[in-house]
Structure 1
Amino acid sequence: MSQFSTCAADTALSSSTYTHDFTTDGFDDDNWNITAGNVTTTSSGALFTIKESGDAPTIRSKWYIFFGRVSFIMRSSPGTGIVSSAILLSDDLDELDWEFLGGEADVAQTNYFGKGESSTTNREVDVAASGSQTTSHNYTIVWKKDSTEWLVDGVVLRTLTADDAVSGGNSYPQTPMDVRVGIWAGGDSSNAEGTIEWAGGDTDYSQGPFEMVLEKVEVVNDNPGSSYTYGDTSGDADSIDVGDEDATTSASSQSSSTKTSTASGSAAGSTETATATQSGMWWTTSAEALVSKSQSEGNQVSVQVTCFAIVLSTLLALL
């Protein structure tokens, strides 16, 4: 059972749409936090680069959505053990994933988790993503109350219904989620053996740098407002209260915009760099990371922690 009614309310995307083109508008620091490493923007887009062990550049939206559509126009990174990720994640550990392994250039992994439940291994489905490391494609998640679709360049390649989710509807993602994009080395030698195996093998940093490119993000929020509040501990969509707000009050910071981060340049096409402190890191490759992924003899585990105290108490209660 979910235990998140005591978490602070989530900031909602107050407008029904948000679009940002990193190739022309630089980094939009009104809408994104850089939670690990550094992200550089050029005319190619937002560049996420791994040069050495410990690098894991990541961005996270400053708002959540409650059902809708998110498109990532991006190019994944090559490199054994390198993982490019574009996901939606809730405080209640509901999750929808696009993940790309650097050793599999023509495959994208789709996955989901509900309430952090990760004891089963039949949620992942691999779909075709031809030339994902050399050509930008549109990877879209259409998330509705009763079903989710994963699309590549507008073509639906996977559909998940709430009824078909593992353990039934309760494990179907249905609580407000933020948006996170990043790259990390699952093949780093500091990771667990299962993580390295899942990522495709040991990462050889001498073959780098390894680079993922995010050109554009497009978002449709089905339930815009000021905030999302958990009304009880069920973790059900019906328990979420959407705070009302005139969407125009913050549309200037949550719509298509030309924003630049604290950077070395602000003109379109210039190089901009923003760096996060380690205390804000979300993706890391250590075993104690906020995100850890392991796969040993077919058992993949994914745990994300965002509402720290509540999650910890929940896990302890289950032991």
Structure 2
Amino acid sequence: MRSQIPSLAATALTFSYLVVGQTTTDCNPLNSTCPSDTALGKTVTIDFTQGENSEFSADTGTTITYGTNGAEFIISSNGLAKTISTNSYIFFGKVSVALRAANGTGIVSSFVMESDDLDEIDWEWLGGYTTTVETNYFGKDNTTSYDRATSPTVSDPQDTFHIYTIDWTPASITWSIDSVLVRTLYYADALDGANYPQTPMRIKLGNWVGGAADESTGTVEWAGGYSDLTEAPFTMYVKNITIEDYTTNGTSYSYGDMTGSYESIIIENNSTSTNTSYSVGESVGTNSTSNASSTASSSNSSSSSVSVTSGGSSQPASFLLGLVGLGCAYLVL
């Protein structure tokens, strides 16, 4: 649905794609041969009330504290952003986060899924607005239009934990709040797939100052205005997160060519590799998924097929399973 955020944020919505799209990658597989990415290949649930977890690493300069509300992403008067990222990638999957957004004009809480070639799926909370959250997506860092964000309503996101979910398949992406669907994007609706996020992603959780004095005018307007750091601290809380990788038969992912198509992704496993063609109309994954309030960790059984029915029509789908060298790729937000 269309944005309902009021006043300045409503007029500045066109800047949001420009702002979030300014991400970088250490190696873009659309331009060169890059190391492979470690695959998660299972489902994990992380309870941050128990402290830090080895599935995530903190960005340089990031210190996270942990308490009864989970991981605390605290922006102090120095204004430094706080970000952690998963060490492994998922190739289609479902991620649910129990999160409380930070308050403060210009403060941006974020839950981002991002790939090496800059496909991206987002939830973002603007601290100056207490009734909405922004959803957005990007394909290959394409910034040719600025009208892809929506802002569904959410009750008291800065003082109440809600479960925010992204369910990502070759056919569609859905965003849900407390199991209530708030947005669906179909493959065909994203420039016939050209703008559709479809390459292996890792998950980033962070809190940053969009209203900083040295940010661009567009960024500040989108974030809701300049931030007053004398009012710090501004804290985002993440109690727990469940991450399900719908591809359960691999140990790493790499790009078979420079198209950025999901059909080109090579899945390496520990056994001999074979080429597999996935059937149209069957679903990704075989297990029921966990809610982010769960505290159990488990592994999925292997998926045998991929659904690419998009907006009422089917798209061809095939994945290559090939042996590739081990390695890892790193992204810088």
**Pairing 1:216–2:243 present:** no
By how many angstroms is 1:106 displaced?
A: 1.1
Q: Deviations over 1:229-282 (max 9, x none)?
A: 100011000100111148xxxxxxxx957xxxxxxxxxxxxxxxxxxxxxxxxx
- 1:19 alignment partner, one of 28, 42, 45: 45
User: For 1:170 and 1:6, how far apart are their aligned partners in 2?
Assistant: 21
By how many angstroms is 1:124 displaced?
A: 0.5
User: For 2:228 and 2:43, how far apart are their aligned partners in 1?
Assistant: 40
User: For 1:50 and 1:184, how far apart are their aligned partners in 2?
Assistant: 7
- 2:199 alignment partner, one of 127, 152, 175: 175
Sequence identity of aligned pairs in percent? 42
By how many angstroms is 1:129 displaced?
A: 1.3
By how many angstroms is 1:130 displaced?
A: 1.2
Question: Could you say which residue in structure 2 is the equivalent of 1:237?
Answer: 262
Counterpart secondary structure, 1:171? coil
Structure 1 residues 26 and 306, CA, compared in 2 at 3 Å: closer, same or farther? closer
**Pairing 1:111–2:168 present:** no
User: For 2:77 and 2:218, how far apart are their aligned partners in 1?
Assistant: 21
By how many angstroms is 1:173 displaced?
A: 0.2
Letter in 1 for 2:43: T
- Residue pair 2:134, 2:149 contacting (<8 A) in 1 also: yes
Question: Could you say which residue in structure 1 is the equivalent of 2:30?
Answer: 3
Question: Could you say which residue in structure 2 is the equivalent of 1:43?
Answer: 68
User: For 1:52 and 1:66, how far apart are their aligned partners in 2?
Assistant: 38
By how many angstroms is 1:108 displaced?
A: 0.5
Instruction: Give the alignment's TM-score, normalised by structure 1.
Output: 0.75
Unaligned runs of 5+ in 1: 247-254, 258-304, 309-319
Letter in 2 for 1:181: L
Instruction: Give the alignment's TM-score, normalised by structure 2.
Output: 0.72
User: For 2:29 and 2:256, how far apart are their aligned partners in 1?
Assistant: 11
Question: Could you say which residue in structure 2 is the equivalent of 1:192?
Answer: 216
By how many angstroms is 1:153 displaced?
A: 0.2
Say which structure is richer in strand.
Answer: 1
Letter in 1 for 2:81: A
* Structure number with higher relative contact order (C-alpha < 8 Å, ≥ 6 residues apart): 1
Q: Deviations over 1:152-199 (max 9, x none)?
A: 00011000001001x220110000000000000000101111111110
User: For 1:65 and 1:256, how far apart are their aligned partners in 2?
Assistant: 19
| 1:1-319 equivalence runs, <5 A | 3-4=30-31, 6-14=33-41, 16-23=42-49, 25-28=50-53, 30-35=54-59, 36-165=61-190, 167-224=191-248, 225-245=250-270
Unaligned runs of 5+ in 2: 1-27, 272-294, 298-328
